[in-house]
Structure 1
């Protein structure tokens, strides 16, 4: 029996009720999940409850959680300050489709963190936030084309499901990546409104902007590409994009759905000291509640008042904004960031020591609460590096081996990253590392 078969067999033995429940869910819900990405073989475990830094499945297994709801949970599960605030709001109303004070209070907290943000509008998800930011940017510039980065994920609206995970044989030239639509149901004509650029290559980006001068109205960038681990910008790439956008009259959008409040209080804009025109936010700003936001320079955001559409019945729900305000004011404090950063450094050092002792090739990419182990010595600077150097099958073995040890190291797939929450403590990092230490010899034999 090879390593994968052995790990899979152990997992199946641990999760018989999950298998049964999952098959029943599939009778009612396509793929058995609420978001297609969450389905994986042989079957996902089915959650019974979550508390603090643990998930508990229907089989009675407990998992030390570093997935944290795909990064939406930097506060951890059921943080008492957040749950108390929301419980209070339940008695005062859960939805007002009229103005209320929490709109200003939550917006003000976001503005304190992002210097480039003068005005804010709320949405219900990261997809909505990037979708509206792109629309506002195009309306502001009066130009229809979007420029996005190869391998970046910005949600599931039509314009951004292009060249998100292009297979290796269809990539095209590194300086002019192929445009590939990645979902059935998206019209071919959508691709005519989008151009694709590589990450960490300013010269190539400028060439594309020059070729489509007076056509590109918006550039959207994950400042850290989180669809390929934790791929950071190099050589002033983000600042260079700022200068190019100014030169070519393009609105510059930071997609901070994953990086926002997690790599720094003011997200990647603060961490890399770059000022975009618009910022899209979601996930951890809401402490596990369904929320999104976008904001930016006043003259750009006032486009909403001039005819750029932004509507939504549930936008700015007081229930959700109570969570947002509590998270930003009371939970994600300076001390909390120091705590999480210290834990991140301990986890990185532990991984690298264990890999060195076991003879495993690899390194860790980490920024504050976000990190990932790559089982390669090669530095990942863009999507193509990830395809070339990351052995996804080997990483799958690592992921299931950790799961069988009771540690959920990050969301399923080698492209994802862990989130360390404010409720994690040193003992949880030690437990994570002990699990890795126990599986490292097995992995070393197979690398």
Structure 2
């Protein structure tokens, strides 16, 4: 067989998982690493995320007096997902998470613990964010700059992978379409680190018909291309009915309000004027299912000046305000008129639950609906990121992470906790990259 390019590690996808894999693998100067990115212009889900990293047991938490650990983090995820079978992967990712956060900080990325970022399902504050709250785009720029500085790594843009190359059941390379031609890339290991399949209408209809017709808030390149390549080699899929959803999508704008609003007193009122949920009890993914069951599949999120002050500096709220997605109402009467309620009905709808504070005028509101941001189902992997076949054995030469691999939500979208997406992507990239670098070192010693 004729090869056009030969590398040690070929990474399919230049998002969070792909770039982290390449960075860690390229830490071994003896490895040549190539990342093949379909389109940096189209972006990746990590770049349009909040960029918040969930990790338990970091030095940032310790400095803030927060008692947490990787074990506690893992138990929170498993409690929400109910996916005990996935425990080894969850524990491996949670063990890696604090090391990733601290490594990022040591590379010069400005990180702080988000003590103002409470989330449902978390028993301790563990979302770490950049100090300017500029989101995932800033994080991905930082990581790609680190990769560009590596002499033994290349980030190849506009290079869409179209198939795997295998021989006798072992993956030996990947086929890449670039500049109108196909190139066969030989590799000692291939890492599938593309996004999931949420942008492919046929696959969403096949695996996620129960979600209805949600607003899609992910990137256009999430088309699940890598899944059939691995399936032809005997790989397995799991939890394909789960997705990362959001019940915070602003109608007619597509921006999202902050998940911290409910923890600062915000309430949800549906088109019938009813308060229909304990807002603090639901994560934003599970809230999407609640919103879908409401009249018109929407509700008004209502908050006040105190809640606005606590959340307005987040990337999501800045985007909402810039887009004109937030409406202001000076009095309870003005708010009631917007909801087509009497003042008395509006006052009853805003009545605080036990232990919560009462909202006070002036008010802010945004009509929110449900959306799909990414998928959570994918390839079965082991805690080292190796893709497993139907018998549970690793497919030689093949690894997967990010949206291509099975995520952490369990079999249903309600099991998703904030931060799970980047934890899975960065965490598995860290694990796979380290594994590949260490594998080379072991071979040299032997």
Relative to the length of structure 2, the TM-score reads 0.25
Higher helix proportion: 1
Relative to the length of structure 1, the TM-score reads 0.25
Higher strand proportion: 2
